[in-house]
Structure 1
């Protein structure tokens, strides 16, 4: 199952140091396997990430393929979506996120 997990740069750093995403419980599952369904889950997670920020910053969405909602090892992370730079509080919520490979997580931090 693919899950889109909202995060912040701080949370991503904690998860990267721990070698696992703490939980996917707050993540968003696409309603189907279509591109539209995946995009809807991504943008819902991006909105949740913006709420976690409580101010300017970068929205982060960690994408995992897993069968569990428990602690997910980094090897199950398939990608990270993130704003390419800090965004103001009043930024357009529909602005797309950049795609980053798992190997690029240290660069995001």
Structure 2
């Protein structure tokens, strides 16, 4: 299966993954059911909910979005198409996440 994969994360995990050059395959992959906007948004928000559990409500939710085959292998950073994250520490599960281009990941990790 190919498509968009939504990987819940935290800023700390994202930093580790960037250093490693890859995102580990998630235990429970979150894939958009279809390529329409509603399916992708639902997958993003599902991943955001899991991210909130990862950070235990302290910090910023992060979701890494990658494209390609859902093959169970680590995801090379070249497959990452965007990162979504809270702009401030997480407070409300209904808040939307901001979109960050792959070129902005380093800035995001520095607190931007």
Partners of 2:93 and 2:22 lie apart in 1 by: 28
Partners of 1:21 and 1:107 lie apart in 2 by: 18
- Relative to its length, the structure with more strand (as a share) is 2
> Structure 1: which 5+ residue stretches go unaligned?
none
Aligned match of 2:33:
31
CA RMSD of aligned residues (A): 1.1
1:2 paired with 2:4, answer yes
1:105 paired with 2:105, answer yes
* TM-score, normalization by structure 2: 0.89
* TM-score, normalization by structure 1: 0.92
How many angstroms does 1:33 deviate by? 1.3
Q: 2:52 aligns with which of 50, 70, 92?
A: 50
Aligned match of 2:73:
70
Equivalent pairs counted in the alignment come to: 106
How many angstroms does 1:56 deviate by? 1.4
